[in-house]
Amino acid sequence: MSSASTITRHLRIHGLVQGVYYRHTTIQTAQRLGLQGWVRNRLDGSVEALASGPADAVQALIDWAHDGPPAARVDRVDVSEGLAHEPLQGFVQRETGSPRFQCNK
């Protein structure tokens, strides 16, 4: 796969990732990388994100997600192919989501 190929990935980040500016720094990192998508807290204490853009930039966000901001403690990052159910514009924060919602099928 070429690094210029556009890909979309769904991330679920587990650990101490709420209340430590994880969403805010995800947005900053994704915007710096030129990605489209969103990030939000989940009711189960995880953080969920959907990132779309050049393969190398998406991979850079995934790599960053394993560490997150300084106050975070990331236990694991689950990554799967993502589907955008609506056009993505910019990288934004969304409202907290239910653990039953599935971003991808």
Give the number of C-alpha atoms closer than 13 A to the C-alpha of residue 5, restricted to the C-beta side. Answer: 8
pTM: 0.87
Report pLDDT digits (tens) over 8-23: 999 999 999 999 999 9
Which SS3 state, helix, strand or coil, does residue 91 take? strand
Chain Cα centroid distance, residue 11: 5
The verdict on whether 41 is a catalytic residue reads yes
Active-site entry in 12, 40, 41, 42: 41
Q: Can you give the pLDDT at residue 94?
A: 94
The token pair at 26 is 């995800």
Active-site entry in 12, 23, 40, 42: 23
Domain range annotation of the chain: 6-85
Binning pLDDT at 50, 70 and 90, where does residue 91 land?
Answer: very high
The token pair at 68 is 């997150």
CATH number of 6-85: 3.30.70.100
The verdict on whether 23 is a catalytic residue reads yes
Q: Can you give the pLDDT at residue 102?
A: 47
